Amino acid sequence: MAGKIPDLELTPRAGTGKGAARQARRDGLVPGVVYGGGEEPQAITIPFNILFKKLKDGGFMSTLFNLKVEGSDDVRAVCRGVQRHVVKDLPTHIDFLRLKRDSRINMNIPVHFLNEETSAGLKKGGTLTIVRAEVELMVTAGNIPDYIEADLENLEIGETINISDITLPEDTRPVIADRDFVIANIAAPGGAADDEDEDIAEDAAEGETPEGEAPEADSEA
């Protein structure tokens, strides 16, 4: 689960507007803004190669950072949006939201699947069908999990793992609260999904946050 909060060094950006943003990109930087927390927005830049690597490594959008901006106090923040080039799919702008330790916020948290090698259903020839590789959770800024764990060991063919089967960190709850939604199931050998499997997948997809849209904080940071 979440350990030491990683530092992320940013540089203040003197200019604003499209001209300054274009110049930053020509200089190998990605322009952005840090906002929220009861303070004025601050224009910043981050080196393109550093941001690109962190995005490629994964988990960037679910990480709480200690932002270090020259001339400003350190502040805890999460990334709330990365704009990308429509053709090259490379980052062109980034937004960070300042948070307090007790701020509650919605974040997509990855699911790690345990004991695939010893899973009862998989050993009998079943196939693991992952319905949700990540789950949107309401978390506190001071306790953001790196991932949640789903144990497959005792799962038989035809059985499912639901969100209620997963132990969540303290003060953490699913954003979808009106049903016990499916995380994964073990399908029968052959890989052909029956109508029930399709219904489960369609039902689980309801309420998902569209890619690229920033989930909203529960309260003002």
The string of pLDDT tens digits covering residues 97-116 is 998 878 888 888 899 999 99
* Bigger pLDDT: 181 vs 197: 181
| Sequence ranges of the chain with CATH classification 2.40.240.10 | 7-99
pLDDT at 215 (0 to 100): 45
What is the average pLDDT across 124-138?
A: 94
pLDDT at 108 (0 to 100): 87
pLDDT at 70 (0 to 100): 87
pLDDT at 206 (0 to 100): 53
pLDDT at residue 211 tops 50: no
pLDDT at 210 (0 to 100): 42
pLDDT at 220 (0 to 100): 44
The CATH T-level fold of domain 7-99 is: Ribosomal Protein L25; Chain P (2.40.240)
| Sequence ranges of the chain with CATH classification 2.170.120.20 | 105-205
The CATH T-level fold of domain 105-205 is: RNA Polymerase Alpha Subunit; Chain A, domain 2 (2.170.120)
pLDDT at 209 (0 to 100): 45
pLDDT at 58 (0 to 100): 84
What is the average pLDDT across 190-199?
A: 52
Q: What is the pLDDT of residues 44-83, one digit of tens each?
A: 999 999 999 999 988 888 788 999 998 888 888 999 999 9
Q: What is the pLDDT of residues 16-51, one digit of tens each?
A: 778 888 889 999 999 999 998 888 999 999 999 999
pLDDT at 159 (0 to 100): 96
pLDDT at 142 (0 to 100): 75
**Please, are residues 102 and 141 in contact by the beta-carbon 8 Å criterion?**
yes
Q: What token pair was written down for 171?
A: 């003060």
